[in-house]
């Protein structure tokens, strides 16, 4: 929000240098992001929080600054000109959707002469980044930046039957806005119409066919209040953002609607001539009733941790225009229409703290903080993350939204989506982490980082939950340019670290990924993303290398976690290792061979490891050679080669019976 010092000085005396004024703005909650000199003026760039729409105009900022400094606040004084004729005889307003338009006012000004604005008006608008259009339009923009109340001026003679109808748009209606955007309207949008057609999108922008031009002689001036949520949805759906929609989305002062209209009417008559009809047409669904909020001074002191006298609290509330009145141990405040953010006692306490000065709250020499032990779930997460980091994987943190096309690439044809009016693109809640990780791989690839190993531990939202909700759960996903074997090794390292007693098996499945089973329970997928297997995925992300990829349900892992580690003495006697190259059928996976090895009970065999696989001469076609490392050890003494050879022979005999294994010599 740009604020002109010259403009601000019209409503109060500012006796501080620019640097001190910028500091004061920040202290009272208006963070000053910049100060710029523009000729003989100084412009402040203020950050206004969404709950303070009253500060989106110079009057609101002046009121706030006067409250903080004790200076006198001087709102503009004017007398609305009263000409001939009654406004109610020249136009009518019909509001058919009071929930979308709680208040609508209209004035008629006849005989205006549209032309250039005076220099003072041009300078005021230029200071806050607005260009001059003509004297009538410039006045509405001036009042917008003064009162934070958007206005709109219609060419009165271009309105069918010279009247206004506020209604929901009809399905299929279109409108060309002032910025020449063709807008397709829906029945969820509020429009300002005449007797025949829409002439403005309520709270967003007017139509091109009724704008004020040099040929305009009669003006209908709109000042209204529109529903913030409907305005926001309409603005996002049409892709039109304006100064008006920015304010209506946050809420306007319902009482100031009339005053802003009178101010604009007076300025138009002054600068463009013409004669204003007497009165205005005002359709107000429910006139404003000021709510009351109570504050307990003792509660203020307890919450802030300091003692602020009751008299000072009352004085602050008085400066804020809240008309505080003592009622027993409480102070009852009447909330003005421009402070819709004050709804409860805590809000009033915050106002007292803000104007008393946050810097007046002392900083203690020490701060007590209760340290709770890390929960089981967090411990498991840390173990998984640390294990993968040690395996050379980098953690990725990505957004939860993807495109619908991406979801389909991973087999989800009906994903969970957010309303397109809220988020027009990337509006699908991801059913798996893989699309997000592949985007991260593409980003790394584009900057020259070709070798990438990434993991992420985050929520996914596949469809199929209860009551139409997604089946949300936490997923651990990994991708690596090192291939599927590397990914599987990393996954098994995580399993060994967290759930060493769990049995992990890989079950062939349709598509590019095989199923991961933990103790027989489906828990994830593992596969290779390559042009041969996943051409659509590879092409969509523009990948240059084949990738290994895996996903694992975190809850399936957490349920089997064994966080208490057992220890045993270091072995006293050395082991003996035997490497066996076993010729098996091509169709026999390592998992099946490992299971067959484990099925042969040999107390002296303490470990078996996969080493490598070889295909080619002299191995027969349809066969492969799998090298396995076996380790034998006894706790009673050093084993002899003869003892180990006997164990190996027994093992080979058993494997020959189950898998027709041959020993490669």
pLDDT digits 0-9 by tens, 339-355 = 999 999 999 999 999 99
| Res. 421: pLDDT tops 70 | no
| Res. 141: pLDDT tops 80 | yes
Q: What's the pLDDT score for residue 363?
A: 76
| Res. 112: pLDDT tops 90 | yes
Q: What's the pLDDT score for residue 424?
A: 67
Identify whether the C-beta of residue 184 lies closer than 8 Å to the C-beta of residue 202: no
Q: Return the structure tokens found at 509.
A: 């499945």
Average pLDDT, integer, range 502-527: 88
Which residues have C-beta within 8 Å of that of residue 161, sequence separation ≥ 6?
194, 195, 196
Residue 369 confidence class, pLDDT cut points 50, 70, 90: confident
How many domains is the chain partitioned into structurally? 5
* Same domain flag for 296 and 442: no
Calculate the average pLDDT of the chain.
92
d(CA 101, CA 89): 23
Percentage, residues of the chain above pLDDT 70: 99
In a domain, 31, yes or no: yes
* Same domain flag for 272 and 300: no
Average pLDDT, integer, range 372-399: 93
What are 452's strand-pairing partners?
Answer: none
CATH of the domain at 423: 3.30.930.10
In a domain, 19, yes or no: yes
Average pLDDT, integer, range 249-276: 95
Of the CA atoms within 13 Å of residue 664, those in its CB half-sphere come to 20
Q: What's the pLDDT score for residue 422?
A: 67
Give the three-state DSSP class for 614. Answer: strand
Report the candidate in 149, 210, 143, 133 with the shortest Cα–Cα distance to residue 178: 210
Domain end point (choices 523, 558, 593): 558
CATH of the domain at 611: 3.30.70.380
Report the candidate in 403, 468, 392 with the shortest Cα–Cα distance to residue 430: 403
* Same domain flag for 415 and 554: yes
* Same domain flag for 58 and 181: no
* Same domain flag for 152 and 256: yes
List alpha helices for 526-620, DSSP H.
Answer: 535-541, 554-558, 590-599
In a domain, 82, yes or no: no
* Same domain flag for 468 and 341: no
| Res. 373: pLDDT tops 90 | no
* Same domain flag for 264 and 198: yes
| Res. 632: pLDDT tops 90 | yes
| Res. 553: pLDDT tops 90 | yes
In a domain, 489, yes or no: yes
Measured CA distances, 300 to 27, 303, 326, 364, 642 (Å): 19, 5, 15, 19, 86
| Res. 125: pLDDT tops 80 | yes
Whole-structure pTM value: 0.65
- The pLDDT tens digits of the residues spanning 316-337 come to 999 999 999 999 999 999 999 9
Phi then psi for 661, rounded to 5 degrees?
A: -75, 140
DSSP string, 282-300: EEESS-----EEEE-HHHH
* Same domain flag for 225 and 275: yes
Residue 509 confidence class, pLDDT cut points 50, 70, 90: confident
| Res. 281: pLDDT tops 90 | yes
Report the candidate in 228, 346, 313, 217 with the shortest Cα–Cα distance to residue 274: 217
List alpha helices for 391-433, DSSP H.
Answer: 404-409
In a domain, 319, yes or no: yes
* Same domain flag for 135 and 172: yes
- The pLDDT tens digits of the residues spanning 568-606 come to 888 899 999 999 999 999 999 888 898 899 899 999 999
Identify whether the C-beta of residue 627 lies closer than 8 Å to the C-beta of residue 590: no
Sheet with 31-38: list strands edge to edge: 2-4, 41-47, 31-38
In a domain, 22, yes or no: yes
Average pLDDT, integer, range 193-197: 95
Cis peptide bond prior to 664, omega within 30° of 0: no
Determine the structural domain holding residue 331 and report its residue range.
Answer: 292-357
H helix count then E strand count, the chain: 20, 32
- The pLDDT tens digits of the residues spanning 19-73 come to 999 999 999 999 999 999 998 999 999 999 999 999 999 999 999 999 999 999 9
| Res. 559: pLDDT tops 70 | yes
In a domain, 74, yes or no: no
List alpha helices for 611-660, DSSP H.
Answer: 641-659
CATH of the domain at 200: 3.50.40.10
* Same domain flag for 232 and 149: yes
| Res. 504: pLDDT tops 90 | no
- The pLDDT tens digits of the residues spanning 483-503 come to 999 999 999 999 999 998 888
């Amino acid at each position: 929000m740009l604020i002109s010092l010259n403009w601000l000085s019209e409503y109060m005396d500012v006796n501080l240098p620019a640097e001190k004024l910028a500091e004061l703005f920040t202290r009272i909650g208006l963070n000053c992001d910049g100060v710029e000199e523009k000729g003989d003026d100084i412009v402040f760039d203020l950050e206004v929080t969404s709950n303070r729409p009253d500060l989106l105009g110079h009057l609101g900022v002046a009121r706030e600054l006067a409250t903080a400094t004790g200076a006198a606040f001087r709102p503009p004084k004017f007398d609305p000109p009263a000409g001939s004729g009654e406004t109610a005889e020249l136009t009518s307003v019909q509001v058919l959707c009071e929930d979308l338009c709680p208040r609508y006012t209209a004035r008629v000004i006849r005989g205006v002469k549209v032309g250039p604005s005076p220099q003072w008006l041009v300078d005021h608008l230029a200071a806050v980044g607005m260009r001059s259009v003509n004297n009538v339009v410039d006045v509405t923009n001036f009042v917008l930046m003064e009162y934070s109340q958007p206005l709109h001026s219609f060419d009165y003679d271009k309105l069918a039957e010279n009247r206004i109808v506020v209604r929901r748009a009809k399905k299929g209606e279109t409108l060309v806005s002032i910025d020449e955007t063709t807008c397709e309207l829906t029945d969820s949008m509020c429009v300002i119409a005449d007797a025949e057609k829409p002439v403005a999108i309520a709270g967003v922008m007017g139509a091109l066919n009724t704008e004020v031009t040099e040929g305009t002689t009669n003006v209908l001036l709109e000042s209204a209040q529109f529903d913030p949520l409907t305005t926001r949805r309409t603005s996002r759906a049409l892709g039109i953002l304006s100064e008006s929609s920015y304010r209506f989305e946050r809420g306007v002062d319902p009482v100031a609607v009339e005053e802003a209209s009178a101010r604009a009417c007076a300025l138009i008559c002054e600068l463009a001539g013409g004669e204003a009809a007497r009165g205005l047409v005002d359709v107000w669904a429910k006139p404003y009733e000021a709510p009351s909020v109570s504050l307990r001074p003792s509660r203020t002191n307890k919450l802030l941790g300091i003692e602020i006298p009751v008299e000072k609290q009352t004085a602050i509330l008085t400066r804020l225009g809240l008309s505080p009145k003592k009622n027993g141990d409480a102070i009852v405040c009447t909330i003005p229409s421009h402070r819709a953010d004050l709804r409860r006692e805590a809000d009033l306490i915050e106002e007292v703290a803000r104007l008393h000065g946050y810097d007046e709250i002392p900083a203690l020499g020490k701060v007590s903080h209760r340290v709770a032990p890390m929960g089981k779930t967090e411990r498991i997460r840390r173990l998984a993350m640390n294990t993968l980091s040690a395996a050379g994987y980098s953690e990725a943190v990505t957004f939860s939204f993807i495109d619908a096309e991406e979801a389909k690439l991973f087999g989800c044809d009906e994903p969970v989506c957010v309303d397109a009016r809220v988020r027009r693109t990337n509006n699908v809640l991801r059913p798996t982490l893989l699309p997000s990780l592949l985007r991260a791989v593409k980003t790394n690839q584009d900057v020259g980082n070709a070798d990438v190993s990434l993991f992420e531990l985050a929520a996914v939202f596949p469809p199929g939950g209860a009551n139409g909700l997604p089946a949300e759960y936490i997923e651990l996903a990994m991708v690596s340019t090192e291939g599927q074997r590397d990914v599987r090794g990393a996954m098994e390292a995580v399993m060994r670290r967290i759930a060493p007693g769990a049995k992990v098996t890989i079950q062939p499945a349709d598509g590019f990924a095989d199923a991961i089973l933990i103790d027989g329970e489906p828990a994830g997928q593992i596969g290779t993303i390559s042009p041969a297997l996943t051409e659509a995925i590879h092409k969509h992300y523009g990948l240059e290398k084949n990738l290994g990829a895996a996903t694992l349900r975190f809850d399936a892992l957490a349920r089997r976690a064994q966080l208490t580690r057992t220890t045993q003495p270091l072995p006293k006697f050395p082991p003996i290792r035997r490497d066996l190259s076993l010729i098996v059928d091509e169709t026999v996976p390592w998992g099946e061979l490992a299971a067959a090895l484990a099925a042969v009970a040999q107390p002296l065999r303490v470990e078996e490891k996969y080493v490598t696989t070889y295909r080619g001469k002299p191995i027969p076609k349809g066969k492969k050679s799998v090298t396995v490392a076996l380790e034998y050890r006894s706790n009673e003494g050093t084993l002899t080669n003869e003892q180990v050879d006997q164990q190996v022979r027994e093992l080979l005999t058993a494997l020959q019976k189950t898998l027709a294994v041959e020993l490669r010599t």
